[in-house]
């Protein structure tokens, strides 16, 4: 298994897709019930294979990730060969940007001396999607990139203005 198995709730939400997946392998509902009863190891393999296919599809579409920690905001842009990070570090340890109050504080004070920005770029290892999945496992969520773009624009204008 390349990623992790979907949760029971995720399987329930993707019930129709799973039926289609089984149908593409010419497995009927009756045969699936028989496999689950008499060949549980085969059923496990099918669940794992379906999970990997779902994860692969989701990860292939991902363009941005965000991971929020009490004093850090990690924003990733997922390129073809590299991922680019914009890191935001809150130097005031009394602020917790995972709370609504702390996040509001960041929105109002990101240009102040209690907030630092840094950037980095990293090439993927052999498997881009495994690298992305590891970030998701560490708490990153797939986004549309609005926050990344917001801070990228700030960094771009700062660079232009010296």
Q: Which two tokens stand for residue 144?
A: 């549309």
Closest to 120 (Cα-Cα) out of 69, 77, 72, 57:
77
pLDDT tens sequence across 48-81: 999 999 999 999 999 999 999 999 999 999 999 9
Task: Give the helix/strand (H/E) hosting 123.
Answer: strand 115-123
Buried b (16+ CB within 10 A) or exposed e, 32-42: beebeeeeeee
Domain ranges (residues) in the chain: 8-61, 64-160
Closest to 19 (Cα-Cα) out of 3, 30, 6, 4:
30
pLDDT tens sequence across 91-128: 999 999 999 999 999 989 988 899 999 999 999 999 99
Q: How many Å apart are CA 106 and CA 118, to the nearest integer?
A: 16
């Amino acid at each position: 298994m390349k990623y992790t198995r979907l949760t029971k709730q995720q399987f329930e939400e993707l019930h129709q897709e799973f039926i289609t997946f089984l149908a593409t392998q010419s497995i009927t509902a009756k045969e699936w019930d028989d496999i689950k009863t008499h060949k549980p190891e085969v059923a496990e393999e099918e669940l794992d294979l379906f999970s990997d296919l779902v994860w692969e599809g989701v990860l292939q579409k991902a363009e941005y990730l965000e991971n929020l920690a009490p004093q850090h905001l990690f924003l990733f842009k997922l390129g073809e060969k590299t991922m680019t990070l914009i890191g935001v570090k809150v130097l005031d340890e009394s602020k917790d940007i995972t709370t609504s109050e702390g996040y509001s504080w960041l929105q109002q004070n990101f240009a102040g001396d209690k907030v630092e920005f840094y950037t980095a770029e990293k090439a993927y290892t052999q498997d881009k999607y495994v690298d992305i999945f590891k970030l998701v496992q560490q708490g990153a969520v797939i986004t549309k990139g609005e926050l990344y773009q917001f801070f990228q624009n700030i960094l771009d204008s700062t660079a232009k203005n010296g």
